[in-house]
Chains A and B, each alone.
Chain A
Amino acid sequence: MSFADTAPAPARDDGVIAVHGLTKTFGPVRAVDDLTFEVRPGRVTGFLGPNGAGKTTTLRALLGLVRPTAGTATIGGRRYTEIPRPQRVVGAALEAASFHPGRTARDHLRVYAPQVGVDDARCDEVLGLVGLADVAGRRVGGYSLGMRQRLGLATTLLGDPRVLVLDEPANGLDPEGIRWLRDLLRFLAGEGRTVLVSSHVLSEVQQTVDDVVIIARGRLVHASSLAGLAALERTGTRLRSPDPDGLDRVTGRWGAAVRRLAPGAVEVDGVEPAEAGRAAFDAGLELHELASLSVGLEEIFLRLTAPPADEPAGVRS
């Protein structure tokens, strides 16, 4: 790939995205509410939250398109609007619809090339990189959503920036495209670049990201490494039997992990239903309920971002 020889060697804070106390109100709506987080170079960071959580507004404030009501959003310590030739430092792609339908993909890049400070050859190069070389001369109006996503990505790569900001880049990509995107983003982060990728689906980026920043209703609900999020995962099983003594005998082996709900009803942490079921079967114990209490990543994500009313205690970090 073309980046290898020009890979940036960033100074310590160069590629850090810092959002501090960011607030944006649209009329009565608080789209972003006192949001603070940091994104480090050399890692892929997932910026997650349900639709309407304020992800796009945050990114637009970061990129100088939206004026914050309060707080700051900086890249390498500078506001986007203060960076000369910003696309040499930050490559950003917001929604896939920002193309003139009558313009070819190649011309779309050539339009912005002078301001990025690159020539036509570089336009062709990034088109090849995102797999659009064969259709570069076709008008964007005839492109599929996936092709537009690739073109948006090509635009961000024009200036070989050390920071990439991508809003829902996997939208409209087929499974092969998502895999290709994952490899590309991992490669770019591996070169020491900062990669911030928004998504409303955790599973879409789960295999791509190192860190997660999760927001809901404009507020930060969780920020950690992916491993930190995975630590919130748990497994468990609920058992119910008409024979309380038999149940106690079977579950006794799990000691402190067992919670008695009532005579003949227990919950066991850290034990899968399959294991509990086999133990009961081996002991000849009649079961009336064998239910999974496991909470996977996706479930944790949903609970973190759910409206407060039905937010269960214990998951919030």
Chain B
Amino acid sequence: MRAALLTEYRKLVTTRLWWVLLVAMALVMVFMGASLAFTFSVPADQGGMGGGEGLPALTPTDVALSVYSVAAGFGYVFPVVVGALAVTGELRHMTITPTLLAEPRRGVVLGAKLLAALPVGLLFGLVGTAATVAGGATVLTLTGGETALGEPEVLRGLALSVLALGLWAVLGVGFGTVLTNQVAAVVVVLAYNQLVEPLLRLFLGSLEWGQPVTRFLPGAAAEALVGSSIYTAVGAGDLLEWWQGGLVLAAYALVLAAIGRATTFRRDIT
């Protein structure tokens, strides 16, 4: 297994993909952090959403953490894509053939991919969370808000945000084993991230029976792990306990990988 892990690690770092996506994530998350901080801290009559009527009163710590939670709740596209491409790329370039010649035990190959994705995801988590905080805290400071970076609750949330993004990368591997077409996989991840989950959470969240269901959507689970969410900050739905969120996210990864093991990783490689 050690050799298989080293192989997976080398597969990742010997192409440009990982750092291109890492840089992209940093840039996007700085921007998202900044714009969310602006939205929350600038009053509605000046172009933001802050201080509006009918919204729950938020403490400065709540505001800051819900801004920072966007890394785990939205920025997951990047680690998920990196994880998914670890599988789809092999099928796209037919490197699955030399991969299985080197290690014919397919369960070992898949296991190594899942395990190797975790540290990669943690790196994306570290960079993505830091970028979100950089953008968010800067704007919070400029608009007279509080960065709340000294609050234990916030620091804990940031650490769990890194963990959440690590789990997202593992989930990405599982996803890639189920949807093996590279282009389709990337498109579906983007569509889910930008449209499907936001709409589901707003729509189901408005229904009495649907609201509990939204807590189990992967994005909501990631936010639960962090302990904050912009959805809950604006009163749309609530979250699971942090550990439940982590388990739900891990369960998605494992269920997807199990499906992939029984389908993609059982097939003839022709």
| Chain A interface residues toward B at CB < 8 A | 26, 56-57, 60, 63-67, 80-81, 83, 86-87, 92, 94-95, 97-104, 107-108, 110-112, 114-117, 155
Q: Assess the B17–A115 pair: CB atoms within 8 A.
A: no
Given contacts A65-B268, A155-B98, contact A81 B104 (CB under 8 A): yes
| Chain B interface residues toward A at CB < 8 A | 2-4, 6-7, 10-11, 14-17, 89, 93-95, 97-105, 268-270
Q: Assess the B6–A81 pair: CB atoms within 8 A.
A: no
Given contacts A98-B93, A98-B97, A112-B98, contact A86 B7 (CB under 8 A): no
Chain B hits for A97, CB < 8 A: 93-94
Q: For B4, B10, B101, which residue has the most chain A Cβ atoms within 10 angstroms?
A: B101
Smallest Cβ distance from A201 to chain B, in angstroms? Answer: 22
Chain B hits for A65, CB < 8 A: 97, 100-101, 268-270
Chain B hits for A86, CB < 8 A: 101-102, 104
Which of B94, B104, B105, B270 is in CB contact (< 8 Å) with A98?
Answer: B94
A26 to B17, CA, bound (A): 35
A100 to B104, CA, bound (A): 19
A87 to B89, CA, bound (A): 23
Q: Assess the B16–A102 pair: CB atoms within 8 A.
A: yes
Given contacts A87-B102, A111-B14, A115-B7, contact A100 B268 (CB under 8 A): no
Given contacts A100-B14, A110-B10, 18 further A-B contacts (CB under 8 A): A26-B268, A63-B104, A64-B100, A80-B104, A81-B105, A86-B102, A97-B94, A98-B98, A100-B11, A102-B17, A108-B14, A111-B11, A112-B99, A114-B3, A114-B7, A115-B3, A116-B102, A117-B3
Which of A60, A66, A98 is in CB contact (< 8 Å) with B95?
Answer: A98
Which of B6, B10, B270 is in CB contact (< 8 Å) with A60?
Answer: B270
> Can you offer 16 A-B residue contacts whose CB atoms are under 8 A?
A65-B100, A65-B101, A65-B270, A66-B268, A66-B270, A83-B104, A95-B94, A98-B97, A98-B98, A99-B93, A99-B95, A102-B17, A107-B14, A114-B4, A114-B10, A115-B4
Q: Which residue of A lies closest to B92 (CB)?
A: A100
Q: Assess the B97–A114 pair: CB atoms within 8 A.
A: no
Smallest Cβ distance from B21 to chain A, in angstroms? Answer: 13
Chain A hits for B10, CB < 8 A: 107, 110-111, 114
Q: Which 3 residue pairs are nearest across A and B when measured between Cβ atoms? A: A107-B14, A114-B6, A115-B102
Given contacts A81-B105, A102-B16, A115-B103, contact A94 B4 (CB under 8 A): no
Chain B hits for A116, CB < 8 A: 102
A66 to B97, CA, bound (A): 11
Which of B2, B14, B270 is in CB contact (< 8 Å) with A103?
Answer: B14
Q: Assess the A63–B16 pair: CB atoms within 8 A.
A: no
Given contacts A92-B101, A112-B98, contact A60 B269 (CB under 8 A): yes
Given contacts A98-B93, A100-B89, contact A64 B15 (CB under 8 A): no
Q: Which residue of B lies closest to A97 (CB)?
A: B94
Chain A hits for B11, CB < 8 A: 100, 111
Smallest Cβ distance from B204 to chain A, in angstroms? Answer: 41
Chain A hits for B89, CB < 8 A: 100
A111 to B93, CA, bound (A): 15
Q: Which residue of B lies closest to A117 (CB)?
A: B3
Q: Assess the B268–A103 pair: CB atoms within 8 A.
A: no
Chain A hits for B101, CB < 8 A: 63, 65, 86-87, 92
Chain A hits for B3, CB < 8 A: 114-115, 117
Smallest Cβ distance from A102 to chain B, in angstroms? Answer: 4
Chain A hits for B95, CB < 8 A: 98-100
Which of B7, B105, B268 is in CB contact (< 8 Å) with A67?
Answer: B268
Q: Assess the B7–A111 pair: CB atoms within 8 A.
A: yes
Q: Assess the B93–A57 pair: CB atoms within 8 A.
A: no
Q: For A92, A100, A108, which residue has the most chain B Cβ atoms within 10 angstroms?
A: A100
Which of A57, A64, A92 is in CB contact (< 8 Å) with B270?
Answer: A57
Smallest Cβ distance from A154 to chain B, in angstroms? Answer: 12
Chain A hits for B16, CB < 8 A: 102
A87 to B2, CA, bound (A): 16
Chain B hits for A56, CB < 8 A: 270
A175 to B90, CA, bound (A): 32
A21 to B14, CA, bound (A): 42
A87 to B7, CA, bound (A): 14
Smallest Cβ distance from B263 to chain A, in angstroms? Answer: 14
Q: Which residue of A lies closest to B266 (CB)?
A: A67
Which of A64, A102, A112 is in CB contact (< 8 Å) with B7?
Answer: A112
Chain B hits for A94, CB < 8 A: 97
A81 to B103, CA, bound (A): 8
Q: Assess the A64–B93 pair: CB atoms within 8 A.
A: no
Chain B hits for A103, CB < 8 A: 14-15
Chain A hits for B6, CB < 8 A: 114
A56 to B94, CA, bound (A): 15
A121 to B102, CA, bound (A): 19
Chain A hits for B93, CB < 8 A: 97-101
Chain B hits for A107, CB < 8 A: 10, 14
A22 to B99, CA, bound (A): 24
Q: Which residue of A lies closest to B15 (CB)?
A: A102
Chain B hits for A101, CB < 8 A: 93
Chain B hits for A108, CB < 8 A: 14
Chain B hits for A99, CB < 8 A: 93, 95
A226 to B101, CA, bound (A): 30
Chain B hits for A110, CB < 8 A: 10, 14
